[in-house]
């Protein structure tokens, strides 16, 4: 990056009549018309080395758009190698598009001619002058304000028409081929003018106009959603990008997404937390009036280069909260309700994947663990793709009441049984306050994050248990790529585990061995279609029935052994044997 001295010498050498006045270089504008009716404006170059806009020039008459040194050299006809920081190997941005011969030049002139005091007064309400309106070629078609979208060839093929004071009423005018998001960058030629300099990217055309009034360079997109479609190659030679969106969580997410792609050059302008949703630059200009320039300058100075990493303060706070949550706890994780399991795992924490043959009781086992967790007022989300919520609820009620499903259905109860059922109903209702069953097969990682965030806020709890029944039934984009889909889901679970303080219980299928049988020796290789389980799972377990699932239940007590086959922190081995107490659908550890 060229130094302040090099850029200063460049402008002093190439601007006729240039003189230094404090942090500015000034001269009669060489681009203005000079005759009896027109006095040339003043060309000013900002040379404050502490400013992000050092080297930016503009004319007080706005005869041409402002820009940085490379743009100045082009319009002055100066050889590019004379420009400080010139890179002979730099490839200019070129899109694979052929612009049509017809454009909206005549329409834009006609619309500009229709601007009246009423329309200009609309812009004056948020501090935008007629000179900026003319510079941006804004017009009026008799009902809608017309914002022309010039492309990089300097011509306009489409325009965005908005109803004043009712911006949700809008449409596009011109060539339909230029209505798509790829062309929805307002004031796009500004990008090339800001090569080797700084640029604002703003949500909404009017918000950009307030910055243009102050003399800042910038572009705009119609809405925050359009930020995600900006081609980063267009911004390759911009040193600093300031992102300004309206105040909303959704807009902030889009700004962070773009900033993450831009990297260190991105700086997100932060709004004070006390402002209302939807607050924007136009409202700030109305509220601040003559102090608007100072307010924007302060926001720029307070902005920080975007970092994908948490701040030191945030990391320290999160670690302190983690230590605080663990104080006085016998277990690091959530209690499973089974003594030997808690000893083996030190509580349910991280990603716990359990496999087993069909009918081994995996779902029933996790139903019990999850409802017992909810019983202790820890929020639980049970993503079920196997049984249906009514079966989960019914089996939970059977377990709590120690009554069979048939007894509950027929209501043929002894007095003590009726009392147990009534108590179970009360207990079940309390559990439902912390227990949510989701059967939506359109589940995605983003939806899961929102579910977790909601239940944590609803229950005022910072930790959550999430059950997935099962891993192989999760939605995938392409069923033919199920293995890669499973591994991708596991990556997302790792992120959610760390970011949202979540423990996972995940059911997985096992692979069949020779003759279609399941191995009697459980190991990590038994899991089906997921090579990433050994890397993602904090604990991998296998539930093996010590009985033949083909035999009727009445012939033999249903005992199953639970094995820990892999763990990040604990020793593998047999955890315990569990008996399914049928028909109450509850496991007992023995």
Q: Domain holding 203: CATH number?
A: 3.40.1360.10
Beta-carbon contacts of residue 411 (< 8 Å; ≥ 6 apart): none
**For the segment 535-558, what is each residue's pLDDT rounded down to a tens digit?**
889 999 999 988 776 665 544 678
Assign residue 26 the CATH number of its domain. Answer: 3.90.580.10
The reply to whether 245 and 356 lie within a common domain is no
Query: In this structure, is residue 571 part of a structural domain?
Result: yes
In a domain, 91, yes or no: no
High-pLDDT (> 90) share of the chain, %: 70
Nearest to 61 by CA among 137, 113, 154, 134: 134
Total domains present in the chain: 3
**583 and 543 within one domain:** yes
Q: Do both 63 and 179 map to the same domain?
A: no
* Structure token digits, residue 444: 């995605």
And the tokens for 407? 């007894």
Q: Are residues 76 and 121 in the same domain?
A: no
Whole-number Å distance between alpha carbons of 578 and 99: 72
Phi/psi of residue 296, nearest 5 degrees: -65, -40
Residue 19 included in any domain: yes
Q: Are residues 428 and 567 in the same domain?
A: yes
Q: Are 197 and 121 in a shared domain?
A: yes
End-to-end CA distance of the chain: 71
Nearest-CA neighbor of 31 among 70, 69, 57, 68? Answer: 57
* pLDDT tens for the 590 residues of the chain, in order: 788 999 999 999 999 999 999 999 999 999 997 665 668 899 999 999 999 999 999 999 999 999 999 999 999 999 999 999 999 888 888 888 899 999 999 999 999 999 999 999 999 999 999 999 999 999 999 999 999 999 999 999 999 999 998 888 999 999 999 999 899 999 999 999 999 999 999 999 999 999 999 999 999 999 999 998 899 999 999 999 999 999 998 999 899 999 999 999 999 999 988 999 999 999 999 999 999 999 999 999 999 888 877 778 877 887 887 778 777 777 889 999 999 999 999 999 999 999 988 888 999 999 999 999 999 999 999 999 988 899 999 999 999 999 999 999 988 899 999 999 999 999 999 999 999 999 988 899 989 999 999 999 999 998 999 999 988 888 876 544 666 788 889 889 999 998 899 999 999 888 776 666 666 667 777 786 666 677 889 999 999 988 776 665 544 678 899 999 999 888 899 999 999 998 999 999 99
pTM: 0.63
Percent of the chain with pLDDT over 70: 94
Measured distance CA(426)–CA(429) in Å, rounded? 5
Cα 398 off chain centre by: 42
- Asked whether residue 94 is assigned to any structural domain, the reply reads no
Q: Of the residues 278, 302, 326, which one is the last residue of a structural domain?
A: 302
| 76 and 111 part of one domain | no
Point out which residues pair with 187 in neighbouring strands: none
In a domain, 386, yes or no: yes
d(CA 63, CA 341): 77
The three-class DSSP label of residue 504 is strand
Q: Is residue 198 part of a domain?
A: yes
**Beta strands 156-163 and 145-150, pairing class:** antiparallel
Task: Count other Cβ atoms within 10 Å, centred on residue 470.
Answer: 21
Tell me if 526 is assigned to some domain.
yes
Domain holding 62, by residue range, is 4-82
Domain-terminating residue out of 302, 333, 365: 302
- For residue 131, being part of any structural domain is answered with yes
Residues 553 and 436 occupy one common structural domain? yes
Assess whether 472 and 566 both reside in one domain: yes
Domain co-membership, 239 together with 370: no
Residue in 400, 394, 338 with CA at minimum distance from that of residue 375 = 400
């Amino acid at each position: 990056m060229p130094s302040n001295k090099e850029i200063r010498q460049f402008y002093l050498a190439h601007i006729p009549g240039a003189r230094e006045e404090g942090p500015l270089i000034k001269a009669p504008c060489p681009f203005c018309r000079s005759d009896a009716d027109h006095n040339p404006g003043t060309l000013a170059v900002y040379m404050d080395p502490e400013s992000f806009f050092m080297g930016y020039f503009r004319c007080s008459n706005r005869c041409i758009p402002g820009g940085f040194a490379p743009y100045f050299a082009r319009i002055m006809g100066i050889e590019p190698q004379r420009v400080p920081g010139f890179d002979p190997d730099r490839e200019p941005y070129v899109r694979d598009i052929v612009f049509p011969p017809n454009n909206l030049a005549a329409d834009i002139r006609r619309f500009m001619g229709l601007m009246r005091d009423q329309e200009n007064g609309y812009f004056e309400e948020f501090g935008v002058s007629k000179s900026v309106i003319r510079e941006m070629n804004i017009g009026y078609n008799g009902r809608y304000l017309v914002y022309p979208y010039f492309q990089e060839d300097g011509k306009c093929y489409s325009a965005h028409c908005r109803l004043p004071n009712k911006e949700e009423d809008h449409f596009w005018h011109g060539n339909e081929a230029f209505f798509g998001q790829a062309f929805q960058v307002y004031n796009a030629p500004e990008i090339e003018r800001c090569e080797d300099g700084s640029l604002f990217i703003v949500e909404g055309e009017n918000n950009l106009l307030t910055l243009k009034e102050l003399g800042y360079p910038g572009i705009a997109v119609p809405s925050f959603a359009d930020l995600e479609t900006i081609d980063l190659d267009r911004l390759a030679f911009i040193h600093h990008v300031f992102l300004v969106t309206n105040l909303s969580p959704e807009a902030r997410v889009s700004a962070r997404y773009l900033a993450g792609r831009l990297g260190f050059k991105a700086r997100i302008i932060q709004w004070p937390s006390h402002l209302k949703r939807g607050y924007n630059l136009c409202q700030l200009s109305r509220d601040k009036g003559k102090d608007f320039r100072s307010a924007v300058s302060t926001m720029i100075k307070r902005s920080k280069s975007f970092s994908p990493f948490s701040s030191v303060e945030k990391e320290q706070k999160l670690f302190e909260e983690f230590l605080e949550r663990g104080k006085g706890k016998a277990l690091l994780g959530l209690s499973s309700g089974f003594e030997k399991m808690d000893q083996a795992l030190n509580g349910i924490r991280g990603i716990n994947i359990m496999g087993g043959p069909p009918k081994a009781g995996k779902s029933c086992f996790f139903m019990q663990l999850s409802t017992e967790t909810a019983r202790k007022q820890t929020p639980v989300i049970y993503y079920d793709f196997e049984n249906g919520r009514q079966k989960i609820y019914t089996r939970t009620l059977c377990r709590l009441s120690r009554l069979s499903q048939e007894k509950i259905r027929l209501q043929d109860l002894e007095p003590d049984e009726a009392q147990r059922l009534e108590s179970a109903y009360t207990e079940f209702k309390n559990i439902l306050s912390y227990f949510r069953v989701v059967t939506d097969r359109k589940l995605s990682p983003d939806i899961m994050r929102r579910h977790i965030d909601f239940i944590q806020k609803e229950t005022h709890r910072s930790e959550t248990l999430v059950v997935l029944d099962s891993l192989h039934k999760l939605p995938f984009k392409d069923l033919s790529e199920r293995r890669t889909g499973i591994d991708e889901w596991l990556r997302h679970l790792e992120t959610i585990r760390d970011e949202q303080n979540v423990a996972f219980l995940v059911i997985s299928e096992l692979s069949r061995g020779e003759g279609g049988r399941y191995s009697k020796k459980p190991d990590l290789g038994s899991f089906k279609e997921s090579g990433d389980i050994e890397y993602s799972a904090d604990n991998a377990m296998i539930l093996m029935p010590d009985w033949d699932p083909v035999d009727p239940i009445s012939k033999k007590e249903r005992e199953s052994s639970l094995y820990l086959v892999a763990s990040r922190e604990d020793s593998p081995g047999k955890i315990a044997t569990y008996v399914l107490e049928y028909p109450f659908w509850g496991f007992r550890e023995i």
